[in-house]
Amino acid sequence: MKAMKYLLSGLIFLTVFFLCEARAEEQIDDITTGEFHFTLALGYGGIENPRAKSDDITTYALPSWSYYDDRFYVENFTLGYSLYESDSLLVDLQTRLNEDGFFFELDGWNKVFLSDILGFKPNKQPIFGPAIPEVPIERNISYLGGLSTTWLTPYSDFTLGYFHDISGVHQGNEIHLKAKKSMAFSWGALGFEVGAIRKSSQLISYYYHFTEEELGRSRVQQPQSAAINYHTSGVVNVPLWQDINFIAIITYTWLGDEITKNRMIEKDGYLSGFIGVSYAF
């Protein structure tokens, strides 16, 4: 991931699998309804894993797909239904993946492809401070559903959304607040986004607190509170030839205090990004 930091410094990310909603192609082309769109980008990207003793997540291919009807739409793993639409206001029902689970479901890929092949097993156990359990930590990815409202202004698009766990994983919820600005130029497009996500205490407790089985002893239940993550992101999209574009995207997320104070987490935030060339089929 150090290589990606240098490579992407000053540019901005398309979240791998789900994370960034800045849609590069939309900043150049209008959305067409009744058609399925698929784009494949090849390059290098990944997500820093803020969990202690965990590998970063990397990828060399970034697929993206979408379908828009008069009211129903699909954007990768996000499903939506438009309840109201005007020139200045959008109100949608939406379902989306919760990103916290990806730090657990995708953990270990780098060890499979790199460490095991090379026979290298680094010792990441801290010399000082509390020990981190060596047992596998398993958490499920959850799916959220709720209501999203977007105000369209000449200066920026402001979105407020509430999403609750509809997959029965943790019964928690998230509140999303973000502002996004897209700008088109003769050479391509730029997009920027800043936002905050409030994660409920149930969600925090499920993903970022060790269980009694993982600790090997009874744990003292501490009072839980919600956490607010902040992020900033952006995207650069430059058409190269017909349906071929150069894309460079990066996002940095600052983790809330209720998350970082847990000893499962060793970073205050994480970087995610991708740089490469995309082809729209």
Task: Read off the pLDDT of residues 78-116 as tens digits, 9 standing for 90 and up.
Answer: 899 999 999 899 999 999 888 888 777 654 444 333 222
pLDDT of res. 217 = 66
Cα–Cα distance measured from residue 264 to residue 50, given in angstroms and rounded to the nearest whole number? 9
Spatial contact of 232 and 21, defined as CB atoms under 8 Å apart = no
Give the residue carrying structure tokens 């995610």. 272
Q: Does a structural domain hold residue 130?
A: no
Q: Does a structural domain hold residue 11?
A: yes
Q: What is the mean pLDDT of the chain?
A: 78
The SS3 call for residue 112 is helix
pLDDT of res. 242 = 84
Host domain of residue 142: 2-121+138-280
pLDDT of res. 98 = 85
Give the residue carrying structure tokens 């700008």. 183
Q: Does a structural domain hold residue 90?
A: yes
Q: Does a structural domain hold residue 112?
A: yes
pLDDT of res. 269 = 93
Quote the tokens at residue 208: 């970022």
Share of the chain above pLDDT 90, in %: 35
Q: Does a structural domain hold residue 194?
A: yes
Q: Does a structural domain hold residue 35?
A: yes
Per-residue pLDDT tens for 233-276? 998 989 998 889 898 889 999 999 999 988 888 899 999 888 99
The low-confidence residues of the chain, meaning pLDDT below 50, are: 2-29, 107-129
pLDDT of res. 121 = 31
Quote the tokens at residue 230: 């902040």
Cα–Cα distance measured from residue 164 to residue 148, given in angstroms and rounded to the nearest whole number? 12
Cα–Cα distance measured from residue 30 to residue 39, given in angstroms and rounded to the nearest whole number? 15
Spatial contact of 83 and 70, defined as CB atoms under 8 Å apart = no
Q: 91: domain CATH number?
A: 2.40.230
Other Cβ atoms within 10 Å of 201 Cβ, number: 15
Other Cβ atoms within 10 Å of 170 Cβ, number: 20
Spatial contact of 178 and 204, defined as CB atoms under 8 Å apart = no
Q: How many domains does the chain divide into?
A: 1
Q: Does a structural domain hold residue 20?
A: yes
pLDDT of res. 172 = 94
Spatial contact of 273 and 45, defined as CB atoms under 8 Å apart = yes
Q: Does a structural domain hold residue 162?
A: yes
